[in-house]
Amino acid sequence: MNEFELEPTEPSLPPLFRGEKAGEGVDPFTKAISASITGVDPGLVVYSIEPHRIRAAMVLAPEASLEDSMAMVFAASLGFGDALGALAPPEVGVHMDWPGTLRVNAAKCGRIHVAASDTPTDQEPDWLVVGLDVPVFPIADTVEPGEAPDSTTLTEEGCVDVSSMELLGSWTRHTLVWINRWLDEGIAPLHADWRSRAFSLGDEISVTLQGESFAGTFVGLDDKGGLLLRADDETKLIPLSKMLEMS
């Protein structure tokens, strides 16, 4: 944004989506989960725009098994990549680590996270909440420049003119585009595009999910987006649903 443009006071959301501020000191992800448990209609986007951070949570009700519905993580990750790509300078690149870490110019810059109703993975969940958490400015006096070279913020990567509210609205719209592709074509196009933006494909990685750690060579994804890790001449599958947070 230039000096003559005002920051929007609310996000521009696509039809059937509605925004709600989380309130001071309230975590949008937690609030969206609480609303889902009490039966809120899908399409709610709870958000918090702070000077140093963008947080938002989208309430969805995909009509598919929980394991298949985890494709929403890819939709939200790709939606963020497309949204920032549309608003940031052309030299800014976005990549992803499995399952939900976002990278801007190769450094970690936020994440996608997810929770769902207590449902077996082969059954349809009552609701699913996908969250976005992205740092905008570094928090003063917490980390010295260069102290955490693998982590960054949007402003440190040249996105000083990107409006947080516009980015939130753009993320929602681009995520919806990917959700519609999933509805029309299945996970294949999401799988292919996410893989093309994967940061560490072919590298040695380690991930910790639900208190359990996994390490090995990232050799690919299964047909539902699960992680394929090669270690000790054995390939192990970690399902994408392993990233679900307790609701």
Spelled out in words, what is the top-level CATH class assigned to the domain 18-196? alpha beta
Q: Buried (b) or exposed (e) across 76-89, using 16+ Cβ within 10 A? A: bbbbbbbbbeebbe
> Does 204-243 match 18-196 at the fold level?
no
Work out the angle at residue 228's Cα, subtended by the Cα atoms of residues 107 and 133, and round it to the nearest 5 degrees.
35
**Average pLDDT, stretch 208-227?**
96
pLDDT digits (tens, 9 = 90+) for 87-132: 999 999 999 999 999 999 999 999 999 999 999 999 999 999 999 9
Return the pLDDT at 150: 87
Ordered by start, the domain boundaries in the chain are 18-196, 204-243
Architecture in CATH of 204-243:
Roll (2.30)
pLDDT of 2 strictly over 60 = no
pTM beyond 0.75, yes or no: yes
